[in-house]
Amino acid sequence: MPKYNAGQVKVLEGIVESFIKNVVKSAGNAPDGASPAEVFSDSVRVMEMPKIIVARIAFNRGAADPDKRVKQILKYCSSVLPAMQRSFGDDLLIDALPADARTQEIADICRENGADGIAKLVDEAVKRDMAADFKTGMKKQGGQRHG
């Protein structure tokens, strides 16, 4: 029986889609009028390229088994992460994480599969969301009278 389910696979695939749509293909303020995709391409180091290509091919194949699919997704994410971080910084990547990926469960799945870099981004997103929720809760409470 698979360790992971289709819902978890969908959430992890959503991370890849969001990074592509909201970071690499977004109209950001890239230097010298370059597109974010060009900035990313320029940030990929020669030694990283083979790993990215192999991981991308496996990702595109899309294993039917949820456990294998999770490994494919996270291997691909991990292979592109260093260049993404150099290109766009952690803050933009954290902001791009979909809401359903901002959970401890997803961070744990990433860690279990050796995707520590992605897990750290998810951890930070969870922390930021909790801090924002706390701040919002304090504001709402501040306007009420007790007694």
- C-alpha 8/C-alpha 136 separation (Å) is 29
Q: What is the mean pLDDT of residues 26-30?
A: 60
Q: Which residue has the higher pLDDT, 144 or 141?
A: 141
Residue 146 has pLDDT above 50, yes or no: no
Residue 134 has pLDDT above 90, yes or no: no
Supply the pLDDT for residue 42.
84
Coil, strand or helix at 143: coil
Helices (H), the chain: 6-19, 36-43, 49-61, 66-96, 104-112, 116-142
Report residue 33's pLDDT band, with 50, 70 and 90 as the boundaries.
low
Supply the pLDDT for residue 37.
78
Place of tokens 């890239």: 30
Q: Which of 88, 72, 75, 78 is nearest to 37 (CA)?
A: 88
Supply the pLDDT for residue 28.
58
- Count of C-beta atoms within a 10 Å radius of residue 142: 7
Q: What is the mean pLDDT of residues 1-9?
A: 90
Residue 66 has pLDDT above 80, yes or no: yes
Residue 139 has pLDDT above 70, yes or no: no
- C-alpha 124/C-alpha 102 separation (Å) is 9
Structure tokens at 143: 């306007």
Residue 36 has pLDDT above 70, yes or no: yes
**Taken in order 69, 73, 78, 79, is the CA torsion positive or negative?**
positive
Supply the pLDDT for residue 147.
46
Residue 141 has pLDDT above 70, yes or no: no
Round the average pLDDT of the chain to a whole number and report it: 87
Question: DSSP assignment of 2-42, as one string?
Answer: -SS-HHHHHHHHHHHHHHIIIIISS----GGG--HHHHHHH
Q: Which residue has the higher pLDDT, 138 or 80?
A: 80
